[in-house]
Amino acid sequence: MQACLLPPRHPALCHPLTANRQLGDCLIANVALSQLICTELIRAGFQLVTQAECCERTLRVPIDNWIEVGALLLLGRTAGAATLFDSEMNILAWKGDEDPAKCPERLVTDANCFTVRYPWDLLRMNEEVLAMMDESSQQGEVSPLATISGHVRIGKDSKILPGTVIEGPVIIGPNCHIGPNAYIRGATSIGANCYVGNGAEVKNSILYNNTYISRQCYVGDSIIGTHVTLGAGTCTENHRHDGRHHVSMIQGKPVNTGRVKLGTIIGDGVKTGVNTSIEACVKIGIARTTKAGSYVGKDLL
């Protein structure tokens, strides 16, 4: 079967992560989104083709959809033109025509599929991918006084210092410095050349390459861009006092994230002063800065 990856439909909604990169270049488990999806399709036996090479049998898959392979195979076995929807009737993929609206047959799957429309959807995808990790590897230097449990992958030349606790699933890229006494847990991916300092905690988050998390920081349920520096004591809030879902402002409109816990989305090159506090669900645009002791209670874009 053939498959063709199509461009994302609403990349601007993932700002600030897509302010200076394509959505397909956003990292999931330390791999670019486009590369991840291509690899999964090839493993499932699909031949990838360009849009110019598409035929009536080609499955057209927007790159901003996370689709279980079984659901795609169901679409592929359909004889005629058809569109695949998730349980909320979002279009996932289609075949038989360039326009999914012109495909007469509709298939609805209850499989775990969803559209990556907003930045927190990338966090969800990272959680899904890391949950499938079934093996560990240690190519770096791990102190005998560190504690590692679950599935954890540590890249080449990375150093895990004494007192550090890592609870998988966690991926740490090459040439990272973690600790001492750091705490890394729960579906976290840390890119290459990152620093997580003494007493810092990173939970259920994505850290892009070349990012510096200073001592005594807390990063929870967040996405941190590349070349970011969080000053000592910078903390992200990730939980509402009333326990309700977080609401984020997207292009001037409130959007229910569907998440009980959501920290911050930080663009590339951001630098925070020491003891900066960031309210839950806040987005900070590329190259923004904060002063020491700042409280960030709304988006800085």
3-56 tens-digit pLDDT: 999 999 889 999 999 999 999 999 999 999 999 999 999 998 999 999 999 998
76-114 tens-digit pLDDT: 899 899 999 998 899 999 999 999 999 999 999 998 899
* Cross-strand bridge partners of residue 106: 83
Domain boundaries, the chain: 2-117, 137-296
The secondary structure element, H or E, covering residue 147 is strand 147-149
pTM (two decimals) = 0.94
Q: Please tell me the CATH superfamily of domain 2-117, with its number.
A: Spore Coat Polysaccharide Biosynthesis Protein SpsA; Chain A (3.90.550.10)
One-character DSSP codes across 84-105: EE-TT--EEEEESSSSGGG--E
Q: Please tell me the CATH superfamily of domain 137-296, with its number.
A: Hexapeptide repeat proteins (2.160.10.10)
250-260 tens-digit pLDDT: 999 999 999 99
Q: Is the pLDDT of residue 224 over 90?
A: yes
* Cross-strand bridge partners of residue 189: 171, 206
With beta carbons less than 8 A apart as the criterion, state whether 275 and 292 touch. yes
236-284 tens-digit pLDDT: 999 988 989 999 999 999 999 999 999 999 999 999 999 999 999 999 9
With beta carbons less than 8 A apart as the criterion, state whether 62 and 26 touch. no
